[in-house]
Amino acid sequence: MKFSITSAFTLAVTIAKVSADCFSTRLGYPCCKFTTEVVYTDNDGKWGVENNNWCGINNNNNNNEQCTGQNDGYPCCNTCNASYIDAQGKWAVENNQWCGIRKTCNNNNNNNNNNNNNNNNNNNNNNNNNNNNNGGIPTTLPKITGGQTDANTLAPHPVNVCKKDGVTRYTPFNWKIGNVCDKKKPGTGFMCNDNQPWAINDNLSYGFVAAGFKSCSQKNWCCTCQRLEFTSGPVKGKQMVVQITNTGGDLSNNHFDIQMPGGGVGIFNGCQTQWGAPGNGWGERYGGIKSASECSQLPKQLQDGCNWRFNWFKNADNPSVVFERVQCPKELTDITGCIPVDDSSAKKLPW
């Protein structure tokens, strides 16, 4: 398994489209106009939230689509391999932008078993909202976690997102802020400045990563913590405890991208909007800067994480690692606000 370096941080896309008349109008609730994110399902139908009020989602909105998001202006993918799934459907990244997986891919992969598709396409709200077994609308809104919906993480709170200053958190979290990297519907959400690696001692560091794995799905490993032991290069024998706060279409299996300033922006360059970074970020788009002296090009708020790369990490180039899931250190979850519901059952750190 290879270890890649990038500082890219992608919140999942927020998809929106106008819906026609729907079931909720007879119940006194409007139809959803801008969202297709299902946050609750009962016997009447699927519900979303707009302007802090419940609205009904029209199931027929996407019947004429050849692929996910086509009616919203997103292109259809050439691939059938999805890198992200939300309530609207399956997505991938091609030519540095989101594209929708064609519905023919679903048919081919699942032998036209539409019942299985309906059960597996993240429609987990029946299971996750059992606080109302009579089919009525709950008086307390379920948590909406934007890029990390309840179908994407088993944690009750998403990874904290900040305003442009990188310090002011959106509290309470509001998924409607969107993320600045969404080319179709740019939002105002940025990665917080404190999502940087730091050294505990000469042999141990803490930090944050984007990741992709051979097995399981995002909801199983999103916000989990992993203990990495480097097995090659100048950091061989060192360890790092990281929390997974992101994934991406450009990540391979068993692949970790350390979030480090100056490490390369990757597919999405939020640093250009936030910090005025060059079009490809500081240095090369993949790989970033080449020397410690170039860390001075970055904003002062990001220089500690940049220097970490050349000091503790010894500017290692894609070292191999072995890894295991562990309980998340409080030092990490205090920053992200994201704790998996099964975290206490994970292996305890040996220190």
**pLDDT tens track for 66-75:** 888 777 667 8
In a domain, 165, yes or no: no
Mean pLDDT of the chain: 76
Instruction: Tell the residue number behind the tokens 């295991």, with chain if given.
Output: 324
Residue scoring higher pLDDT (294 or 256): 294
The percentage of the chain sitting over the pLDDT mark of 90, rounded to a whole number, equals: 38
Mean pLDDT of 19-41: 69
- Domain of residue 214, CATH code: 2.40.40.10
Q: In DSSP terms, which residues pair with 255 in a beta bridge? A: 212
Give residue 310's domain range. Answer: 3-11+191-345
Q: How far is CA 169 from CA 7, 127, 224, 326, 336, in A?
A: 19, 30, 21, 27, 10
Give 92-110 pLDDT, tens digit per residue. Answer: 878 767 788 998 886 655 4
Instruction: Tell the residue number behind the tokens 């297709």, with chain if given.
Output: 36
CA 144 to the chain's CA centroid: 14
In a domain, 332, yes or no: yes
pLDDT on residue 108: 55
Q: How far is CA 42 from CA 20, 134, 145, in A?
A: 20, 8, 20
User: Residue 87 — pLDDT band, cuts 50, 70, 90?
Assistant: low
Q: How far apart are CA 351 and CA 346, in angstroms?
A: 15
Query: Is the model's pLDDT at 296 over the cut of 90?
Result: yes
Q: How far apart are CA 302 and CA 306, in angstroms?
A: 7
Expressed in angstroms, the distance from the first to the final Cα of the chain is 26
Mean pLDDT of 75-94: 79
Mean pLDDT of 175-199: 87
In a domain, 250, yes or no: yes
In a domain, 315, yes or no: yes
Give 206-246 pLDDT, tens digit per residue. Answer: 999 988 877 666 667 789 999 999 999 999 999 999 999 98
Q: Which of 89, 188, 169, 93 is nearest to 338 (CA)?
A: 169
Q: Which of 94, 95, 72 is nearest to 83 (CA)?
A: 94
In a domain, 239, yes or no: yes
Query: Is the model's pLDDT at 65 over the cut of 80?
Result: no
Sign of the torsion formed by the C-alpha atoms of 159, 165, 168 and 171: negative
pLDDT on residue 135: 39
In a domain, 284, yes or no: yes
User: Residue 169 — pLDDT band, cuts 50, 70, 90?
Assistant: very high
Number of compact structural domains in the chain: 1
Map residue 90 onto helix, strand or coil.
strand
Give 120-158 pLDDT, tens digit per residue. Answer: 333 333 333 333 333 333 333 233 233 333 345 567 788
Q: In DSSP terms, which residues pair with 4 in a beta bridge? A: 257
Vertex 179 angle, CA 175 and 185, to 5°? 95
Q: Give the contacts of 195 (CB within 8 A, at least 6 positions apart).
A: 9, 208, 245, 259, 335, 336
In a domain, 145, yes or no: no
pLDDT on residue 289: 96
In a domain, 46, yes or no: no
Element (H, E) at 257: strand 255-258
Query: Is the model's pLDDT at 286 over the cut of 60?
Result: yes
Q: Give the contacts of 129 (CB within 8 A, at least 6 positions apart).
A: 40, 41, 138, 142
